[in-house]
Amino acid sequence: MITILCSGTRGDVQPFIALAQELKKLGLAARIASGRAFEGFVKGYGIDFYSIDVDHESAGVDPQTIREAQQADNVLKMFGSFRKLREYGIHMVEKYHGACLGSSAIVYHPGLTIGYYMAQKLGIPAILASPFPLHSTRARPSVVLYGKAKPNAIVNRLSYPMLQGMLWMASEASLKPFWKSAYGRLPKPFGKPFERHRDARHPSIVSCSNHVFERPGDWNTHTHQKGYWFVEEPEAYRPGAELGAFLARGDKPVYIGFGSMFDKADSERVSRVAIDALALAGKRGILSGMGDVKGLPDSVMAAENVPHSWLFPRMAAACHHGGAGTSAAGFQAGVPSIIVPFALDQYAWAQRSYELGIGSKPLPFKTLTAQRLAEAISFSSRPEIRAKAAALGQLIADEHGARDCALVIATAMEAKPDGGD
């Protein structure tokens, strides 16, 4: 059994489901280990699930701490937020440890480094599976500084220890006391494992298109970036009558949704900004994740729980917060992107879409107004932007990231042990 360790939001879990789907096609048993709230979501794709029966509420984590972590828009805030979440990690690590037992290989998100050390302990392959480029390179800054700092040799070099340090801090404080309690002493060497994946039995895989961020030439040969990991929906999505009728009766609308990033208490203000911006730009729109919005004009409707893979190709543009998964869905759909970053790597995807000529300039959420959003919508409507977005979508369609990375995992299963650390 290949155990895939992941955590985070629905968008964080979904790419790992794509890996599990491809492993299943190869005849390899795989399961997702993640928070209990995702059990129905994962099983809906026919993938086995190991429930991590702990969440922020049961662990007693202040919801404000979670919000601070989501909205940390500079490096100091990021470190501070991750430090506050250490206590939550202590409650989780024991559960993920249990998920690893009995596995034949462990695939792990970089925020769950117990996967590396358990694979080492069990003498099985460890595969680092990152939803964004993580490994050090001279070519560009890491995703936490891309779009926020001017690239140069010093920034590029220092930004990766910064990113990897934050991820390690999220693991180390909880992993260290647990490991000492369970096994008496820490493994040697004990530290960030991200750059240790350097052979066929312990490779790294990255969910990213080479047409968005090209694979750097100075990565080691066992770091594989083959394209995004997109799920295959179990059945064709069928829109409700209201959504179907709305799409049929006019020009393509603009999608506007920010996932779980903004405070739901702020929904009324944010929805009003979106409605006013659409009116100023002369566009129809679909609002997502803003609840039951009252007084919508005929040119705007609210829609929830519609797969991005179905909805985005039917949009004139996709306006969102810039999460890695949502950005990938927008790029794949071949429609212009309007990215309103809140924090973390979202600035990187916003900046990159603008550099590629497939979207508007980054519009940070804290500066969002109806006028600025209307200008971004109008910019994204330019023929040259639409053409470049469509071309990128076709290039991404020609990649098979989940399939090719599943083959990397299969190869790791067949590689001979090297004796470990």
**Per-residue pLDDT tens for 372-416?**
999 999 999 999 999 999 999 999 999 999 999 999 999 999 998
Q: Name all contacts of 68-76 with Cβ < 8 Å and 24+ positions apart.
A: 70/260, 70/261, 70/342, 70/343, 71/261, 71/342, 71/343, 72/343, 72/344, 73/341, 73/342, 73/343, 73/347, 73/364, 73/366, 74/148, 75/144, 75/145, 75/162
pLDDT at res. 89? 64
> Residue 92: pLDDT band by 50, 70, 90 thresholds?
confident
3-state secondary structure of 219: coil
* CA distance linking residue 145 with residue 346, whole number of Å: 10
Average pLDDT over residues 47-63: 72
Q: Which CATH architecture has domain 2-228+399-414?
A: 3-Layer(aba) Sandwich (3.40)
**pLDDT of 286 over the 50 cut:** yes
pLDDT band per the 50, 70, 90 thresholds, residue 64: low
- pLDDT band for 236, please (50, 70, 90 cuts): confident
| pLDDT tier for residue 418 given thresholds of 50, 70 and 90 | low
Report pLDDT for 419. 43
What tokens were used for 73? 């828009």
Lowest-pLDDT range, 67-81, 97-111, 172-186, 255-269? 67-81
Q: What is the location of CATH 3.40.50.2000 in the chain?
A: 2-228+399-414, 241-397
User: CA-to-CA distance for 372 and 338, rounded, in angstroms?
Assistant: 11
What is the model's pLDDT at position 350? 97
355 vs 140: CA distance, rounded Å: 14
421 — pLDDT class (breaks 50, 70, 90): very low
Per-residue pLDDT at 163: 93
Q: Is it true that domain 241-397 has CATH number 3.40.50.2000?
A: yes
Q: Which helix (H) or strand (E) holds 301?
A: strand 300-302
How far is Cα 82 from Cα 97, in angstroms, rounded to an integer? 21
The pLDDT of residue 266 is 79
User: Would you tell me the crossing angle of helices 75-84 and 153-183 to the nearest 10 degrees?
Assistant: 10
What's the pLDDT tens digit per position in 141-188?
Answer: 999 999 888 899 999 999 999 999 989 987 888 899 999 999 999 998
Distance set, CA 268 to CA 84, 271, 273, 295, 322 (Å): 30, 5, 9, 11, 21
Q: What is the mean pLDDT of residues 78-99?
A: 70
Greater confidence, 118 or 269?
118
Higher local confidence (pLDDT), 261 or 319 = 319
Give the confidence band of 68 by pLDDT, cuts at 50, 70, 90: low
* CB proximity list for 245: less than 8 A, separation 6 or greater: none
Taking phi over 0 as left and psi of -120 to 50 as alpha, with beta for the rest, 259 belongs to left
Print burial letters for 229-263: b (CB count within 10 Å at least 16), e (below 16): bbbeeeeeeeeeeebeebbeeeeebbbbbbbebbe
Both tokens of 286, joined, read 């679909």
Taking each helix axis as running N to C, give the angle between helix 324-333 and helix 383-397, from 0 to 180 degrees, rounded to the nearest 10. 100
pLDDT at 79 over 80: no
**pLDDT of residue 56 exceeding 60:** no
Please write the tens of the pLDDT for every residue from 340-352.
999 889 999 999 9
DSSP letters, 22-64, are: HHHHTT--EEEEEEGGGHHHHHTTT-EEEEE---TTTTT--HH
Minimum mean pLDDT range among 30-39, 80-89, 203-212, 400-409: 80-89
